[in-house]
Amino acid sequence: MRIGVRLWELASRASPTRDLRDAAMPFLEDLHAVVGHHVQLGVLEDDEVLFIERLSNPGAVINVTRIAGRLPLHASSSGLVLLANASADLQDRILRRPLTSYTANTISDPKTLRTVLAEIRRTGVAVCPGFIHDDALGIAVPLKDSAGGVAAALSVIVPCADNPMAHIPALQAAAHGIRRELGRPLVPAPPER
């Protein structure tokens, strides 16, 4: 058990996502208070979305993601935002593979997926009703870095009955706040003992 805790400690200190997560936490907490269900932050890792943070409430709608969990890019709102803004090579690689369906709503047709990715680039929002679970609606927006590239995806998971348009302004405001925070000079960490 001691080795596991020590490895976790070292990995947490060395993680390139630590600054992103630290800058995002106050905004994630505020968004979580507004949404009342799940709020999560995902980054592109290889050919998947890796979730680096998730806030949830007891009794919230079902959500299969976990911190340090992964999902295919085509199947979740966060993954679709990341895939829509990824390189053409990565998009082509994903579109050439068989696309797993989790529900009848999961996009598994490459032509349809290509159309959806173009719409996400145009609108800046992915809305995925019942893509992973029939009862859950994923809504995600890109979190841009200072150069204008997409560094992460910020998403909420709410009941399918919710109106997605009601959550988009709060998601966009949180993403804007995180981007602003990431642009500030970092305060040096205290020396380790």
pTM for the model stands at: 0.88
What is the SS3 assignment for 102? coil
User: Is the model's pLDDT at 192 over the cut of 90?
Assistant: no
pLDDT band at 121 (very low <50, low <70, confident <90, very high): very high
Q: Which of 137, 188, 177, 173 is nearest to 34 (CA)?
A: 173
- For 60-89, the pLDDT digits (tens) are 999 988 988 999 999 999 999 999 999 999
For helices 88-96 and 77-84, what crossing angle results, to 10°? 130
Segment 166-191 mean pLDDT: 80
Question: For 161, which DSSP code?
Answer: T
Angle, CA 132 vertex, CA 130 and CA 106 arms, to 5°: 70
Check residue 147 and give its pLDDT. Answer: 82
Give the architecture-level CATH label for domain 24-182: 2-Layer Sandwich (3.30)
User: Is the model's pLDDT at 48 over the cut of 70?
Assistant: yes
Question: For 73, which DSSP code?
Answer: G
> CB atoms < 10 A from the CB of 144, how many?
18
Segment 15-38 mean pLDDT: 90
Q: Which amino acid is at 150?
A: V
Q: In what order do the strands lie in the sheet with 38-45?
A: 70-72, 48-55, 38-45, 150-159, 136-144, 126-129
Segment 163-182 mean pLDDT: 95
The two structure tokens encoding residue 92: 């082509």
> CB atoms < 10 A from the CB of 18, how many?
14
